[in-house]
Amino acid sequence: MDSINHGDRELVRSWASDLEPQTRRQAERSARCAAVAGPIALMPDAHLGIGATVGSVIPTENAIIPAAVGVDIGCGMIAVHTSLTAADLPDDLGPVLAGIEGAIPAGFAGHGEPSRAADRWLGANPVPDPGRLQLSHHRKIASQLGTLGGGNHFVEVGLDEAASVWLVLHSGSRGIGNLLAQRHITEARRLCSLLNRSLEDRDLAYFLDTDPQFQAYVTDMLWAQAYALQNRELMMDAAMAVLRAVIPTRVAELERINCHHNYCEREVHEGRSLWITRKGAIRAAKGDRGVIPGSMGTATYIVSGLGNPASYRSASHGAGRRFGRKEAHRRFTAAELRRAMRGRTWQEDKATQLLDEAPMAYKDITQVMADQADLVRVEHTLEAVVNYKGT
């Protein structure tokens, strides 16, 4: 871990051995924000974000920065260790991919009628202050619960070092998380401007807990985090059902891990009650189970936290991007992506669409894991045999 200081003040604690200068500058700028209550912890997958750096852990005491939490509130990972082994899988994994594609809708639109499970959850957990939303929003909230989205969200079937079969899935709070986040980000900018709160970057606009808008944001944020958690649960249930339908061997669930990596919660650190925003980071308190993916062509890691206090008991959320999406489309070809994905069953016919998710667009996950050996312990290393992404 390296410290980045300004005079006698520690601004940033960095675990990143591969850190672009503009990312470092952004982290330092975030750390100087008046709302921040201590050094920012920069994870080894850190890269440029909006306002705050993706792969950063931000402590605040009486404030929250909505743009630091981000627009996909509660985005995270879920993994299930199944009773299957590689020997139980069919030689042709095409039906597994097709089954997942049929069972888990992807993309950014609505997805028809909501499932009964989605209706039940929303009945027990209605969106806060529903009068703010249009009828179309309510329909989308229901129809998108249990759906994947696009971008870097994915479902994988993977094998660990003992050839045990795992299901791994990445998704968040879908359109409603984005809608709620954007509203609060806009309101935080307006409020900071109105009250002349000095900001180096308008995306560091914050609410103080004395602001009327603070509790409204916290209520929406916590609800969106619960929605995202349930979204992953429903999709994982659907993916398990696919395995049970396609594979004749009885499929049991041995373990399930569900963790956020874009979120904020109240925690106690060094005797202080703080709001800890993990923007592209997982909680890694001692014994916490976590899921850290690389990219669609590299390994995923099942980890347990070591509880390092210097990182606010946190670790990276993945490999971290090296190139932006447009740059990846300029740099790489479909042929290069197909070579990188050799040996996996995936949507090869959509290679051109998926270039922004090519493994070459991401940092080296092996180096990321080496950089955070004092934050987590690796329990399992998974290599994907099936990959499904939203396009």
Q: Are strands 272-279 and 281-283 parallel, antiparallel or unpaired?
A: unpaired
The mean pLDDT of 126-136, rounded to a whole number, is 82
Tokens representing residue 188 in the block:
């935080």
The mean pLDDT of 103-124, rounded to a whole number, is 83
The mean pLDDT of 120-125, rounded to a whole number, is 94
Lowest mean pLDDT among 5-14, 234-243, 252-261, 376-385: 5-14
pLDDT at residue 111, rounded to an integer: 64
Lowest mean pLDDT among 6-20, 240-254, 341-355: 6-20
Give 40-52 pLDDT, tens digit per residue: 999 999 999 988 9
Terminal C-alpha separation, the chain: 37
Catalytic site includes residue 269: no
pLDDT at residue 112, rounded to an integer: 67
pLDDT at residue 133, rounded to an integer: 78
Q: Are strands 9-14 and 40-47 parallel, antiparallel or unpaired?
A: parallel
The mean pLDDT of 129-152, rounded to a whole number, is 85
pLDDT at residue 110, rounded to an integer: 54
- What rounded mean pLDDT belongs to the chain? 94
pLDDT at residue 6, rounded to an integer: 78
pLDDT at residue 109, rounded to an integer: 60
Count Cα atoms within 13 angstroms, Cβ side, for 363.
27
pLDDT at residue 159, rounded to an integer: 98
Do 16 and 46 form a contact (C-beta atoms < 8 A)? yes
pLDDT at residue 107, rounded to an integer: 79
Given a cut of 90, is residue 158 above it in pLDDT? yes
Give 64-104 pLDDT, tens digit per residue: 999 999 999 999 999 999 999 999 999 999 999 999 999 99
What are the structural domains, with CATH classification, of the chain? 2-322+362-389 (3.90.1860.10), 323-361 (no CATH)
The mean pLDDT of 162-187, rounded to a whole number, is 96
Q: If you count DSSP H runs as helices and E runs as strands, how many of each does the chain have, helices first? A: 10, 17
Annotated active-site residue in 170, 184, 261, 317: 317
The DSSP letter of residue 238 is: H
CA separation for the pair 109, 129 (Å, rounded): 23
The mean pLDDT of 119-123, rounded to a whole number, is 92
The mean pLDDT of 256-265, rounded to a whole number, is 98
The DSSP letter of residue 194 is: H
CA separation for the pair 361, 387 (Å, rounded): 17
What are phi and psi for residue 110, nearest 5 degrees? -70, 170
pLDDT at residue 139, rounded to an integer: 83
Residue that is written with structure tokens 């100087």 in the block: 32
